Amino acid sequence: MKHTPGPWSWKAVRDAENKPLTVRGMKALLSAIVDKTVQHGDSVEDFYLVLSSDDPKDPVCSAITLNGPTAKANAHLIAKAPELEAQRDALLAACKMALTRTPFPVGCLGIKGALEDAIAKAEGA
């Protein structure tokens, strides 16, 4: 199972006046997406919801992945994001600690700048 290759981006859904969609507008958008999918001969069997709560009385949908060969893998990847973020944070902490070592290990000098750049990007700098 392979997800859609990156880089990925996200976008806020807005109306023509750049305002957030109303509930009615969001329902219309989702309905149009399903209709277009069916018109193209695709199945809605390949739509996946990523839920942060699957309580049937109070479900919380974090993401929707649409039809296509990577839809299921994309949903799995998104669902793993909190766990991946925790692992990234642990790796960043280890890299920061390694960068403070004096002298920096000679065999790693070539990656020191790359590590610093990666840390800055991961932290949103």
β-bridge partners, 50: 63
Q: State if pTM tops 0.85.
A: no
Q: Is residue 62 part of a domain?
A: yes
Q: Is residue 30 part of a domain?
A: yes
DSSP element (H, E) containing 122:
helix 109-122
Q: What is the pLDDT of residue 24?
A: 92
Residues 73 and 88 in one domain: no
pLDDT tens by residue, the chain, 125 residues = 788 888 888 788 888 899 988 999 889 988 888 888 778 777 777 788 888 877 778 888 888 887 677 888 888 888 888 888 888 888 878 877 777 766 766 666 667 677 777 777 777 65
Q: What is the pLDDT of residue 113?
A: 73
User: Are 76 and 1 within 8 A, CB to CB?
Assistant: yes
Domain count, the chain: 2
Q: Is residue 16 part of a domain?
A: no
Residues 65 and 96 in one domain: no
**Domain limits for position 99:** 83-122
Residues 34 and 74 in one domain: yes
Q: What is the pLDDT of residue 105?
A: 63
